[in-house]
Amino acid sequence: MDHGSDILLSLFIVFVAAQVGAEIAQRLKLPGVVGEIVAGCIVGPSLLGWIAPSEPLDVLAEIGVVLLLFAVGLETRLADMRRVGRSAFAVGVLGVIVPFALGSLWAHGSGFDWAKSLFVAAAFVATSAGITARVLQELNVLQREESRVILGAAVIDDILAMLLLGVVTALQSGAELRLGHLALVLVEAVGFVVVIGLVGARVMRRASNLIDAPINPLSPLTIVLALCLGLASAATQFGLAAIIGAFLAGMIASETRQRETIEHQTRPLLALLTPFFFVVTGSKVDLAQLASVDALLTLALITAIAIVSKLIGGFLGALPLGRRGALIVGVGMIPRGEVGVVVASLGLAAGVFPPRTYALIVAMSLLTSIVTPPLLALLFREKGRSTSL
């Protein structure tokens, strides 16, 4: 019983911290999500210690980001995604190559052997679409071409990052690279995305009557939520992030007649659950590990590398959108968020690098998540202004 009351108290603290943080951030003309992440830093173990990391909180955070990407998918039409396919592909590929190259150069320069350097560099690679998606949603620009390129690139980016992680993990053990196996992994992941995206959309277009059939008055919603959880879970089976599956589920659900109802009913779910993702993300920064001038300088350096490398990759890939548009895409790809944290955890668990490198990578991942939202807001606001002139 005491335990139950502890977890309810944590839920209350996380939820209220998120609301207060978002409110303050928005009054300061910053995206609400920045406030939520910072609130997480503050109530987390590093500072106030009001919440402790726990499995239930992680699961709620996961459900929150899954629902967020589902909602973003709901606002994304497959036809529009296809139109930006080429740019998204270029952004995804270049956005992996440049950070991986610069990341491994830094790691090797700071004393890791090449095999380990490549592992460290893998943490520089994967964009976390959650943060950017929320900012795009807050700014109400999900329908813009740049937003579509970012979301498409995030899917491609995730596939490449997964492959890369497979390669660098194999390199650590000195095991021979099994190219056949990697090819299979690639085919599976691409196959999952393509089959769900194309076949799923066609099925959903015809299923509009079917999802109204159950007695449950909220049945369109419950059926697509089941689809969302199912595809999120299936995506992880194919080695992809759960949010990729959720995004695809939202995208194909948006082909149904009931799209607007579903969109409307999803909003309260986001209001309750996404704050858990952002506050928990913020609470994972271990400020103590960074409490030295040396650590802070290194952090500044690797954060700069992470930002600049992704910016260059994204910018070059999106140049067909014009320079301002390419800049927006580049910035939108910056956040590493929880993906960097996952890679760092794997590296720590495998003994590839020491706790300090772990803390640095986690802090870098979160810093990229904190700087992106205000930059993105600024760029979209300026773009809006220059367009309206």
Report the interface residues with a copy of itself, using CB under 8 A.
Answer: 1, 4-5, 7-9, 11-12, 15-16, 19, 22-23, 26-27, 32, 54-56, 58-60, 62-63, 66, 214-216, 218, 221-223, 225-226, 229-230, 232-233, 236-237, 242, 265-269, 271-272, 342, 346
* Dihedral sign, Cα of residue 109, residue 110, residue 116, residue 121: negative
Phi-psi region of 256 (alpha: psi -120 to 50; beta: other; left: phi over 0): beta
Q: How far apart are CB 340 and a copy of itself at their closest, in Å?
A: 14
Task: Give the C-alpha separation, 87 to 313, whole Å.
Answer: 12
Residue whose CB is less far from a copy of itself, 68 or 229: 229
CB closer to a copy of itself, 9 vs 291 = 9
The minimum distance between CB 41 and a copy of itself, in angstroms, equals 20
Indicate the residue among 57 and 81 with the shorter CB distance to a copy of itself.
Answer: 57
Q: How far apart are CA 68 and CA 75, in angstroms?
A: 11
Q: What's the min distance (Å) between Cβ of 292 and a copy of itself?
A: 32
Phi then psi for residue 53, to 5 deg, are: -60, 135
Q: How many CB atoms lie within 10 A of CB 89?
A: 16
The least CB distance from residue 146 to a copy of itself, in Å, is 24
Which is nearer to a copy of itself, 180 or 268 (by Cβ)?
268
Which residue do the tokens 């239930």 mark? 56
Find the angle CA(379)-CA(382)-CA(387) to the nearest 5 degrees: 120
Tell me whether residue 27 or residue 385 sits nearer to a copy of itself (CB atom).
27
Q: Which two tokens stand for residue 151?
A: 């979301």
Q: Is 53 exposed, middle or buried (0-12, 13-18, 19+ CB in 10 A)?
A: exposed
**What phi, psi does 353 have (nearest 5°)?**
-145, 165
From the number of C-beta atoms within 10 Å of its C-beta (0-12, 13-18, 19+), residue 163 rates as: middle
Q: From the CB of 268, what's the least distance to a copy of itself, in Å?
A: 4
Q: Which is nearer to a copy of itself, 58 or 80 (CB)?
A: 58
Q: Give least dist CB 247 to a copy of itself, A.
A: 14
Amino acid at 233: S
Nearer to a copy of itself, 105 or 272 (CB): 272
